[in-house]
Structure 1
């Protein structure tokens, strides 16, 4: 079939990038403009099938040549944007955010960013707007397709050669991938969005369209109908659809729309003309440049301004034009005249230089570049317990306070580690010391199993606690844990695997798991409280952002806003944990340490105080914030105060 330049496909590119840009710049009416990416996938699948089938049919397909052509098309512009982001980040990002940018640039250049963003998704995920290279996830998916699809086509072509047979096989593969995508959309939506196998059907759909086009030619009038119907479906999807998860079955709409336009082989004023030609030819550059500029507006706190968004959009188009005219097109032409070895070698050199620079940023962050007022926020107080490396771990036997007998046992996880110093300070000059038993992300109580076989240390640490306590009869036990994290923020989710579970019980956050956990928790605490005083601490409020980095980023931008969450948010996040603690107090005689008065008022729980962070991240108090707990602990454990106060 003909490989002549098709204005309808170029116009389809224009619509795809236009919808994505309008969505990212929050233009009203384009709430699902991200569907433009699905259109890009169909186009890529179609063009790759065309290129590969032509080479296989003529017997001259060279995978080296194929990959070199993809490198010429994709890599130079991607490297340019990556370098620009690293340079801009030097001036605009605090060390932690700059380190994250370095990691994202590195993964983008390795075409692995979709897996990186998938690994960051979930409770600990930072806001998407802070990720300047987020849009490269789709390039990574496409590159993974480029790596696998030629091998698939080569294998199939040795077996069957007719377009009809290839179409039938491709449809079967599409159905399998689409079914997987829909299941993920319902159960693991982050993987549905970023995962290659959940997106492969969209690219394969482009391959199916190629084979279908080779089998039939539509009458002109019917082709025009397909053309208009396809564009209409795409635009309506971008403007009307509001899915709870994407892609799944909803993505059938833009994929179908793109397929109809390509099959229609027609033209219209909405795909042919100076504007559509310009947008289509520069669609890749526009895609690369627009998102970092939108993300920078978020970083600068300017995104809510329509005028700033308009200015950034204009700048994105200008940079795309300059990059296309003076770098992307001429470099592609020059590299096209050079050998494949030269192209691939040059790409490897760029990866080593720029990727190596990104890795240096990832590791170092270069904090010395920060102004002094920003450094004051970052380094005014220790961000963690100075004895953390010495004490937080299963192999340590760590004591806080003077030599002598153990007067108290503090057990738990990294949250327990953050309160060790104020707890010791609250004891004043009393004799005895505090024995610390804990490790990161460990409940440190007996009778549990862990779903991660590599965290057997947590299980062992908890099971050893009774033996440790047996050597310390009558010594009080203080338990501090991030209980709400281990109980999924009070939310039942039968599709999410739990961290801990009762041996023989459910391993997912089902209603049964919550009931089993409640029974175990109360039975365990009642057993411990029968032999000694047992104290449990209310959950530490958890912020929505990394507090230190957020305040430092604000200061770098000349801004100052307090960091806090509402008391209602606190109650919602910790509902299950709070109810467990209340039951333990009522049924077991366990004693409660309420630290919320030190960190919250009636309306809010605060992560900052007069511009200084109380936390080192979202949920761990720093050595400034934990000082607020000393007066609270004094009420319970201070000199001359009875333990029952």
Structure 2
């Protein structure tokens, strides 16, 4: 670091405040409902320190990209690689096969600083319940910072080269305003991307950068003003930490106030002889120590919390306290034996940093990913969960030549029931048709029918439209498939009707009209009403009960309430308009007395929260035949 900026223990104390807020939030202390703002404090600190270093070195005409990125590699990479490697062990021991595959993919994304993109695309949002079971969820923020480190030095040096100092500050301030406005807009229109991605987070880093650029010109305040401002700053941080929650719009305006409080606290510590009262508090040895290990504590706390919850324990009482102590202990070991030695490494070139740290880490992590991926997450580790063997029991794998192949009339590859010279009908639809194939196969065999199955994600019958009326998938393929199906007697529709449930959806009338067209054409139409959607935590507990020798929760009745559709739900509207067509309702097998189960014959019938596995669909069909007879014969 430049000699123009001396070490400030209160900034380490501020790091401690940030990581403790995150720690208490993730430990599920209800009072810290907005503790996730600790990440935003980190962003401001990073923006300040990184820009201060770059600015000082540029002013002295000795800035070096090589030195800058070597420092970043030494500071961040060793502890991160160590964490990723070590957490692979409990991941292998505890994670079910599908979750282990997700973990393996996230390993690579965490290493190459794209974890935020991966999580944005593959979760229902940072605050969705299913993310509690992702051990590397927290690496999204590291990716945001690292992406900033790739862009900011070059942009800053470019601006510095062509702008005088005052103009430089105004230019960056204008950039800050634009990005702040973008964050507010995205937080309201696209909350998941706003939370995970750099464009809506950059204004937070730029708040720290603006302070760094103007730092030398800012006056040293007298003690009473520093005291007053530091207390105000702490209020700006703590009030959101205790009052906002995951239901609030974030980042946007709600992130501005804790970030502004962070800026003020950094400023009120500028004059080390006249420290603000809060800066003095943050300079205490306990806070400084936690600040020193804050990076490692941030890395370690979330995987520890996740694995504890994954095996069925709740983060309450003694378990929560032990988890926090374990996180601090692991963080200390990581800081002392990985972080500190890593920063003392003598790396004289980026090539050396690459060869000694990044390349070995990449080889190890990609090897782990490859082994896990090739072996489909090692499903044989849980012998009682054979229904989750992807190759043998997931419709998208078992019938991979039939799903998303976008082929028409490939009967030799994709047929159900009893093979004959002439085709009797077609199962058509989206992924819900694909997961219904095993069910229909049993019914078709019983009825002596020869059926072709044609399932394509996002193609319910014809095709799905987005809210802006643009077609999501090829309309030509959808129309050709629809016209091809109409030439046969039986047409069975397998669709995720919940995606189009409301009359407000563009597809609502569109799909009802498609059903009407089939009836007018003289086709014998059957409509599959799919199984209830279950919660991921519910499915996870079912796996624990069946697949683990020991469970840490009471095996209470794991049933879900019967899903009552709204009166204008598309299924109810379909029944009103077309009462005489054949409805095959999976809930008739899985639901009794207002409750629904996810298991039959001690076997879990689901692949994920809303799709069946092959054995489950097969068992359901046999049970349907036993209870209600064959609906295909009734047509």
TM-score, normalised via structure 2 length? 0.88
Of 33, 36, 45 in structure 2, the residue corresponding to residue 31 of structure 1 is: 33
For 1:148 and 1:447, the matched residues in 2 are separated by 38
The aligned length equals: 609
Change (3 A) 1:197 1:275: same
- The equivalent of 1:351 in structure 2 is 361
Alignment partner of 1:478: what SS?
strand
1:262 to 2:279 alignment: no
Shift of 1:605: 2.3
Alpha carbons of structure 1 residues 33 and 420: separation in structure 2 relative to 1, 3 Å: closer
CA RMSD of aligned residues (A): 3.0
Whether the 8 Å contact between 2:391 and 2:397 is mirrored in structure 1 is no
Query: 3-state DSSP class of the match of 2:33?
Result: coil
Identify which range, 90-99 or 370-379, moves more after superposition: 370-379
1:130 pairs, out of 125, 130, 133, with 133
1:374-412 deviation digits (Å, cap 9, x = unpaired) = 457658973438862343333223432131333333222
Q: Distance in 1 between matches of 2:249 and 2:542?
A: 32
Q: Deviations over 1:482-517 (max 9, x none)?
A: 1223x2x64x8xxxxxxxxxxxxxxxxxx3xx3x53
Deviation sequence 1:84-114 (CA, Å, 0-9, x none):
1111212111221111111111111111111
Task: Report if aligned partners of 1:385, 1:623 keep a CA contact under 8 Å in 2.
Answer: no
Question: How do 1:534-549 residues align onto structure 2 when only pairs under 5 Å count?
Answer: 534-545=525-536
- Greater Cα offset, 362-371 or 322-331: 362-371
Report SS of the residue matched to 2:454: strand
Q: Closer, same or farther in 2 for the Cα pair 1:451/1:87, shift >3 Å?
A: farther
How many Å separate the matches in 2 of 1:604 and 1:103? 36
Match of 1:77? Answer: 79
Which whole-Å deviations, capped at 9, do the CAs of 1:294-337 have from their partners, x for residues lacking one?
Answer: 1111112112432111101001111111121222112312x146
Provide structure 2 residue ranges, at least 5 long, that are not aligned to the other structure: 270-274
1:583 Cα offset (Å): 3.2
Aligned counterparts, 1:595-634, within 5 A = 595-609=586-600, 611-626=602-617, 627-630=619-622, 632=624
CA distance in 2, matches of 1:159, 1:381: 62
Instruction: Tell whether the 8 Å contact from 1:542 to 1:619 is kept in structure 2 after alignment.
Output: yes
> Residues 408 and 433 of structure 1 are in contact (CA less than 8 Å); yes or no, is this contact kept in structure 2?
yes
Partner secondary structure for residue 455 of structure 1: coil
Aligned residue in 2 for 1:581:
574
Residues 336, 203 of structure 1: alpha-carbon distance in 2 compared, 3 angstrom cutoff: farther
- Structure 1 gap segments, 5+ residues each: 493-510
Q: Is the 8 A contact 2:529 2:586 kept in 1?
A: yes
- The reply on whether 1:394 has 2:369 as its aligned counterpart is no
Taking the TM superposition and a 5 Å limit, the aligned residue runs for 1:376-395 are 378=389, 382-384=393-395, 388-392=399-403, 393-395=405-407
In structure 2, distance between residues paired with 1:240 and 1:385: 44
- 2:56 is matched with 54
Residue 544 to residue 376, structure 1, CA distance change in 2 (3 Å): closer
Q: Provide the residue aligned with 2:519 in structure 1.
A: 529
Residues in 1 aligned to 2:44 and 2:594: alpha-carbon distance in whole angstroms: 50
Name the residue aligned to 1:119: 121
How far apart, CA to CA, are the structure 1 residues paired with 2:367 and 2:463? 47
On the 8 A contact 2:447/2:632 being kept in 1, the answer is no
**1:244 and 1:276 mapped to 2: Cα distance?**
29
- Distance apart, 1:358 and its partner CA: 3.5
**CA distance in structure 1 between the partners assigned to 2:548 and 2:486 by the alignment:** 49
Mapped contact 1:444–1:463 kept (Cα < 8 A): no
Higher mean alpha-carbon deviation, 190-199 vs 366-375, is at: 366-375
CA distance change for structure 1 residues 621 and 575 in 2, over 3 Å: closer, same or farther? farther
